[in-house]
Amino acid sequence: MQLEFLMPFVTTDDGTEIYFKDWGPRDAQPIVFHHGWPLSSDDWDAQMLYFLGKGFRVVASDRRGHGRSSQTGVGHDMDHYASDVDAVVRHLDLRNAIHVGHSTGGGQVARYVAKYGQPQGRVAKAVLVAAVPPLMLQTPDNPEGTPLEVFDGFREALLANRADFFQAVACGPFYGFNRPGAKVSEPTVANWWRQGMMGSALAHYEGIKAFSETDQTEDLKAITVPVLVLQGDDDQVVPYKAAAVKQAELLADATLKIYEGYPHGMLTTHAEVLNPDILAFIQQ
């Protein structure tokens, strides 16, 4: 039993092993971090160390097929993502938790909070950062969304050469390094690429459909806990008018903040700004 407690994995009902980090005092308020596609819990280093230093218990897991979790061939959809989070939360018995999600991780937060965390009374607040809900895909009812051809292009590039594709994303639109005058951080690009290549090509391929075509309108409507919505207006990955603005309209208790000129990966490029803003929201 002691060995089981020390192992940083939880096994889900379908046999998938989910890797997690759990740092800080066990009696402190937990903050649970949910990473974006195609990354891992390592993408939250700047936030986990910051909030650990503020006295919180910080937890983050690798999504199935990502990072150190099982490279399973099934379940690469938002329902399984949320169910896997529930398995980690119940394993650690986290209560009064703050759930913070970036990009696809924001969709994971919305589905988890609506379906599991809020009904179980385990969630205090949530934070959505450059998150994909309610729907990324452009449709007649969502003209601000991204055309299907763009996501088809993602799939084609991943099939052709995943390593090249991930390099192009990291040194281009993700951090805004393709903008005129941008100062490119090669270590940041390398870290993004490292995280992506740790995961499963299948999980990443099928995850494109999960993050782009999952309509989470009803998830957002169901959430009643306070939610902080953050996004940059120069987000080249998730259009902020189709995401943050609509999230704030659908949520029952939302605080919206749009950062001028910030990119999709602003949690890394502007951690010194976002971390205190998230802390202030938590402490309200």
- Residues known to be catalytic: 103, 235, 264
DSSP annotation of 114: I
CA–CA gap between residue 17 and residue 275 (Å, rounded): 30
Six-digit token pair at 80? 């399984």
CA–CA gap between residue 164 and residue 175 (Å, rounded): 17
Chain mean position to CA 79 = 14
Partner residues linked to 257 by β-bridges: 230
> Coil, helix or strand for 260?
coil
Query: Around Cβ 5, how many Cβ atoms within 10 Å?
Result: 9
- Which among 3, 8, 58 has a CA at the least distance from the CA of 33? 58
